[in-house]
């Protein structure tokens, strides 16, 4: 597995990363906090237009080198999940956000759309409940408290 960043003087892979991280591959100059906020508004507008349900936005800036925001949504069925994802991919491209990387579009259970600063997970409700990504990202840092 490739090394992606350093944390507290140690090189980490994505499996080990938590807390504040430093990007080995820094954002390009044109990618700023304002650009990430604009991209988030584009994503949220597209999701609302597609009638995505239970939209949750998680700010992961400083918590992960993966991006600045993670958005988790549900679609009512496989077909709705795929339609939400297709619409979002088109809107990202039309909005000048480049070509997003996409996984899971074939089955429509869980589609991951990596738009750079924004990572979007589109789930069927039962798949979303099973993986419970929101809870995982809301978990406290190990150094902040004791787990029992």
CA dist 64 and 61 (Å) reads 6
The pLDDT of residue 31 is above 90 = no
State residue 131's pLDDT score.
Answer: 92
Structure pTM? Answer: 0.73
Confidence of residue 50 (pLDDT cuts 50, 70, 90): very high
State residue 111's pLDDT score.
Answer: 96
CA dist 96 and 92 (Å) reads 6
Higher pLDDT, 85 or 60: 85
Helix (H, G, I), strand (E, B) or coil at 60: coil
Pairing relationship of beta strands 10-12 and 69-74 according to DSSP bridges? unpaired
Please tell me which of 9-18, 29-38, 77-86 the model is most confident about, judged by mean pLDDT.
Answer: 77-86
Instruction: Note whether 119 and 69 are within 8 A (CB).
Output: yes
State residue 10's pLDDT score.
Answer: 54
- pLDDT digits 0-9 by tens, 62-119: 777 788 899 999 999 999 999 999 999 999 999 988 888 999 999 999 999 998 889 9
State residue 117's pLDDT score.
Answer: 87
State residue 34's pLDDT score.
Answer: 84
The pLDDT of residue 120 is above 60 = yes
């Amino acid at each position: 597995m490739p090394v992606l960043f350093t944390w507290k003087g140690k090189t980490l892979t994505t499996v080990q990363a938590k807390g504040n991280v430093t990007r080995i591959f820094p954002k390009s100059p044109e990618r700023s906090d304002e650009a990430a906020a604009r991209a988030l508004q584009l994503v949220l507008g597209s999701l609302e237009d597609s009638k995505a349900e239970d939209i949750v936005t998680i700010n992961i800036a400083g918590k992960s080198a993966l991006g600045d925001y993670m958005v988790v949504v549900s679609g009512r069925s496989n077909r709705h999940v795929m339609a939400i994802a297709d619409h979002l991919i088109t809107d990202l491209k039309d909005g000048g956000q480049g070509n997003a990387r996409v996984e899971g579009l074939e089955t429509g259970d869980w589609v991951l759309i990596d738009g750079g600063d924004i990572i979007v997970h589109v789930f069927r409700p039962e798949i979303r409940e099973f993986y419970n990504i929101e809870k995982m990202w809301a978990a406290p840092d190990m150094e902040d408290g004791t787990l029992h």
